[in-house]
């Protein structure tokens, strides 16, 4: 088995779906596996001239390869069925390619009810947090306990085989349950360590694709966006609304020290920085470094400055504009 991993290096919404799609399009992968999260995630995909938004379903279904919702995810089978139907109505063949790990935990009605009570930290109200809570309290239910279709034993499927797996992460490093800005985090591990927990030996990993934007966004209750007009402009030009909640994303400059930390702890080999076209239109290039704002006058200054710091950590950097390609 060989595996590559796609992880977010900020607070989600970095265009991981676009990166995953392009890697699958160019590569020779036999499997694609979502390794964390649930319906609280949202990946935007442009496929054959159409826009798609997936939540639980791995991007591999667009290429007709085995697409697995891994053990690190929690699954709502009711909303999963609706997501399948929506994709099939748009012309995709989903059911024959979609599988769910027998070890993935199930979101049940009780979890949705608990989530409605609210925690005050920006839940998507999808029952995800309560389902993970029961998982770690050892009172949850695994998918394998039910008579669901398309269940799979990941170990039997992938080990002792020539499988090439692309592991698709949700959310991002700054939302990781252990490394994020607690308690303003998600309920699952968003790092490459979370990918390994889905039954992937670390020796199988060839490359880690770390994804970020040339600015940062956050959806939630904490104060993240400074009171400056430029961030309103960034949000407007970048169309910054949550793909799952529809809530406006708060914007801020890239945190360079945070990006370096995320890249190091994820052993990132390939760094992709998205939405360069947004800042090109806004006309400002700035980063946070050591808790102060550094003004970089031009796009070239920005790319060179970022490269001078990040090439000490990663092997390759790609700066990307379009939502359609890398």
The predicted model scores a pTM of: 0.94
State residue 32 phi and psi, 5-degree precision.
-130, 130
CA-to-CA distance for 280 and 224, rounded, in angstroms? 22
**64-79 pLDDT per residue, tens:** 999 999 999 999 999 9
For residues 9 and 148, the model is more confident at 9
Which uninterrupted H or E stretch holds 303?
Answer: helix 299-310
d(CA 254, CA 96): 41
Give the model's pLDDT for residue 155.
96
Tens of pLDDT, residues 160-211: 789 999 999 999 999 999 999 999 999 999 999 999 999 999 999 999 999 9
Show contacts of 150-155: CB within 8 Å, 24+ apart.
150/95, 150/98, 150/99, 150/100, 151/99, 151/100, 151/101, 151/102, 152/68, 152/99, 152/100, 152/101, 152/102, 153/101, 153/102, 154/33, 154/68, 154/70, 154/71, 154/101, 154/103, 154/198, 154/199, 155/199
Spot the catalytic one: 4, 31, 43, 105: 43
Q: Is the peptide bond before 219 cis (omega within 30 degrees of 0)?
A: no
Non-local (6+) Cβ contacts of 259 within 8 A are 9, 10, 212, 310
Q: Domains in the chain, ordered, with CATH?
A: 2-319 (3.40.440.10)
Cα–Cα dist 111/39, whole Å: 13
Bin 249: left if φ > 0, else alpha if -120 < ψ < 50, else beta.
beta
What average pLDDT does range 120-139 have in this prediction?
87
| Interval 249-260 mean pLDDT | 97
Element (H, E) at 281: helix 276-282
* % of the chain residues with pLDDT over 70: 96
pLDDT value at residue 39:
83
pLDDT digits (tens, 9 = 90+) for 52-106: 989 999 999 999 999 999 999 999 999 999 999 999 999 999 999 999 999 999 9
Closest CA to 35 of 84, 98, 96, 104: 104
Q: How does pLDDT run across 19-56, given as a tens digit for each residue?
A: 999 999 998 999 999 999 998 888 889 999 889 989 99
- pLDDT-derived band at 121 (thresholds 50, 70, 90) equals low
pLDDT tens for each residue of 197-233: 999 999 999 999 999 999 999 988 899 999 999 999 9
CA dist 282 and 129 (Å) reads 37
Neighbours of 48 (CB within 10 A): 9
Annotated catalytic, 13? Answer: yes
pLDDT of amino acid 120: 56
Per annotation, catalytic residue among 4, 13, 115, 176: 13
What stretches of the chain adopt beta strand conformation (E)? Answer: 2-8, 31-34, 43-47, 50-54, 66-69, 74-75, 98-101, 105-106, 151-152, 164-168, 205-213, 215-218, 250-255, 270-274, 285-289, 292-296, 316-319
pLDDT(326) > 90: no
What pLDDT does residue 19 have?
Answer: 95
Give just the sign of the alpha carbon dihedral 323, 99, 67, 169: positive
Mean pLDDT value of segment 133-153: 95
């Amino acid at each position: 088995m060989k595996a590559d991993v796609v992880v977010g290096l900020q607070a989600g919404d970095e265009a991981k779906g676009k990166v995953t799609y392009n890697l699958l399009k160019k590569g020779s992968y036999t499997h694609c596996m979502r390794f964390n999260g649930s319906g609280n995630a949202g990946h935007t995909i442009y496929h054959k001239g159409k826009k798609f938004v997936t939540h639980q379903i791995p991007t591999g279904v667009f290429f007709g390869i085995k697409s697995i919702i891994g053990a690190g995810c929690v699954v709502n089978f009711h909303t999963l069925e609706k997501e399948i139907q929506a994709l099939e109505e748009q012309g995709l063949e989903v059911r024959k390619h979609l599988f769910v790990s027998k070890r993935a935990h199930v979101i049940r009605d009780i979890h949705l009810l608990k989530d409605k009570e609210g925690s005050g930290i920006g839940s998507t109200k999808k029952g995800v947090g309560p389902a993970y809570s029961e998982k770690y309290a050892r009172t949850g239910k695994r998918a394998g306990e039910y008579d669901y279709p398309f269940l799979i034993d990941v170990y039997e499927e992938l080990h002792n085989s020539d499988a090439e797996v692309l592991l698709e992460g949700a959310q991002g490093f700054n939302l990781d349950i252990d490394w994020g800005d607690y308690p303003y985090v998600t309920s699952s591990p968003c790092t490459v360590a979370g990918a390994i927990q889905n039954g992937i030996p670390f020796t199988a990993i060839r490359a880690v694709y770390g994804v970020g934007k040339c600015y940062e966004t956050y959806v939630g209750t904490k104060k993240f966006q400074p009171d400056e007009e430029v961030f309103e402009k960034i949000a407007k030009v970048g169309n910054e609304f949550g793909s799952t909640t529809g809530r406006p994303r708060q914007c801020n400059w890239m945190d360079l020290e945070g990006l370096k930390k995320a890249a190091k702890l994820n052993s990132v080999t390939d760094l992709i920085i998205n939405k360069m076209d947004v800042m090109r239109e806004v006309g400002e290039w700035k980063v946070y470094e050591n808790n102060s704002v550094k003004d970089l006058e031009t796009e070239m200054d920005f790319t060179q400055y970022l490269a001078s710091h990040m090439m000490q950590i990663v092997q390759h950097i790609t700066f990307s504009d379009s939502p359609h390609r890398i």
